[in-house]
Amino acid sequence: MRKFLRQAGYVLAILVLLPYIITIFANGNGMEVNSDGNSPYVTVSLDEDIRKMSLDEYAIGVLAKEIDGAAGEAAVKAQAVLIRTSIYKTLQENGTDAVLDKRYWSRSQMEDNWGSSHYGEYYEKMKNAWEETKGQVLMYEGSLILTPYHRLSNGKTRSGNEVFESDQYPYLTVKDCPADREAEDAMTTTMIQGTNMEVLTTDSAGYVMEVRCGEETVSGEEFRDTYHLTSACFTLQESDGQTRVTCTGIGHGLGMSQYTAAYMAEEGSSYEEILAYFYEGTSLEEVAEILVKPE
């Protein structure tokens, strides 16, 4: 009888531990797993504070911060896939102990930013988008891709090969986004001190590549950062000892335009269609296929 009970205890222990063992094999033994056996822990940096938190909690917080809560479900799901791909690309390249530094919102920050009237609805939308795309990432020819995105293009997205001066980004091509041109905040004007500035070159989407500032030449992105401009798509015009800078779009212009993604979602496009449009030639794959290391 004792032998039978002992054997029964062994079987019970194996059944209890089996989900954990399977998860370890699926995720690699470098990544700790939550007590629920589903979401691994990741290391996160926030304001010089390093902490461990569940991947799901972190990613939903990033998703909430990065996209408008009112965006359609397909647009939010597309954004979820981009965030997951970025996280796993970082972990794959730097190890599962890598510190993730993309900023995120806590639940209280979500409520503060969305307001109590929208908090419940928007949080569920983010959570569902993350869960309903579970395990999905974007790949190109067997590798995780770079997944840039921006709020609003100038009417076209940019070529990754042009921006990075490399042939490693064939999936980041120029895409028409006509809806972006009609956005309420598509154009902004800023006055900056000084003159003798000139746009030297632009890329095929119309974003500035080089600017001459006096005797110095800087990139369009450097100029944008220096003067806190909304976009690197801009024109310069001297005016009374100052320079008027007129910008079109919001963000760097690479990858998915969130505004057009939201428009496509409203028009009935699926998140798969949105991703296929902005990241040409890529495919949706399962995370498990990436995390399991070949023997």
Region 10-37: mean pLDDT is 41
pLDDT of 30 over the 70 cut:
no
Whole-prediction pTM value?
Answer: 0.84
- Residue 278 CA to residue 196 CA, distance in Å, equals 37
Among 274, 278, 233, which Cα is nearest to 251's? 233
pLDDT band at 47 (very low <50, low <70, confident <90, very high): confident
Q: Is the distance from CB of 290 to CB of 88 less than 8 angstroms? A: yes
Average pLDDT over the chain, rounded to an integer: 88
- Residue 188 CA to residue 186 CA, distance in Å, equals 7
- Residue 59 CA to residue 180 CA, distance in Å, equals 27
Q: Is the distance from CB of 81 to CB of 275 less than 8 angstroms? A: yes
Instruction: For 196-234, write each residue's pLDDT tens digit.
Output: 999 999 999 999 999 999 999 999 999 999 999 999 999
Here the tokens at position 284 are 């949706």
pLDDT at 38: 65
pLDDT at 21: 34
- Higher pLDDT residue, 258 or 292? 258
Here the tokens at position 124 are 């569920």
Give the torsion through C-alpha atoms of 6, 10, 15, 17, to 10 deg.
130
Helices 258-266 and 271-278 cross at an angle (nearest 10°) of: 140
pLDDT of 54 over the 90 cut:
yes
Q: Is the distance from CB of 244 to CB of 237 less than 8 angstroms? A: yes
Where are the alpha helices (H) located in 133-197, listed in sequence order? Answer: 160-163, 178-181
pLDDT of 240 over the 70 cut:
yes
Instruction: For 69-90, write each residue's pLDDT tens digit.
Output: 999 999 999 999 999 999 999 9
The single-letter DSSP state of residue 250 is: B
Where are the alpha helices (H) located in the chain, listed in sequence order? Answer: 2-27, 55-66, 73-94, 107-114, 116-132, 160-163, 178-181, 220-226, 258-266, 271-278, 287-291
pLDDT at 92: 92
Instruction: For 37-46, write each residue's pLDDT tens digit.
Output: 467 899 998 8
DSSP E strand stretches across 118-233: 136-140, 143-144, 149-150, 187-193, 197-202, 208-213, 216-219
| Alpha-carbon distance values, 105 to 58, 96, 97, 250 (Å) | 8, 22, 22, 21
